[in-house]
Chain A
Amino acid sequence: MGPKTRSCVPHGVELCAGASRHRVRPWRLSLVTGAVLQAISPAAGAADSAESVASRSPASLARLSIEELSEIEISSVSKRPERLADAAASVYVITREDIRRCGATTLPEVLRLAPNLQVARSSSNGYAISARGFNDDNANKLLVMIDGRTVYTPLHSGVFWDVQDVFIGDIERIEVVSGPGGTLWGANAVNGVINVITLSAKDTVGTLAAAIAGSQERGLAARHGVALGDDGAVRVYAKSFRFDHHKRANGTDINDAWNREQAGFRADWGKASNWTLQGDIYQGDAQALSRPQRNTSGANLIARWSREYEDKSGLQFQAYFDTYKRRQEGFFTEDLDTIDIDAQHHFQLGSAHEIVWGGGMREQRDKTSAAASFAFSPAESKLTLANLFAQDTWTIQPRTKLTLGLKLEDNSYTGLEYQPNVRIAWKPDGQALLWAAVSRAVRTPSRLDRGLLVFAPPGAPSLLGGPDFKSERLTAYELGYRGQPRSDLSYSVSTFVHVYDRLRSVEPNGSGNFVLGNGVRARTEGIEAWGGYQVHEGWRVNAGLLLQHQSFSFAPDSQATGTASGNSNDPKHQFTLRSSWSLPRDMSLDLALRSVAALPSPAVPGYTTLDAQLAWPIRKNLELSFSGFNLLGRHAEFGAAPARAEYERSFALRLLWAL
Chain B
Amino acid sequence: MATLSIKNLYVSAKGTPILRGVNLDVNEGETMALLGPNGHGKSTLLAAIMGNPAYTVDKGSIFLGDQDVLKMSVDARSKAGLFLAMQYPSEIPGLNSSDFLKAAMNAHREKPLSLFEFYNKLQTAYKQMGIPFEMTKRNLNEGFSGGEKKRNEILQMLLLEPKLSLLDEIDSGLDVDAMQIVAKAIRNEQAKGMGFLVISHYARLYSMIHPTKAAVLINGKIALQGGPDIIERIDKNGYEWIHDELGIDIEKEIDAPMNNVSIGACATKVKINDKQ
Chains A and B come from one and the same complex: no
Residues of A within 8 A of B (CB): none
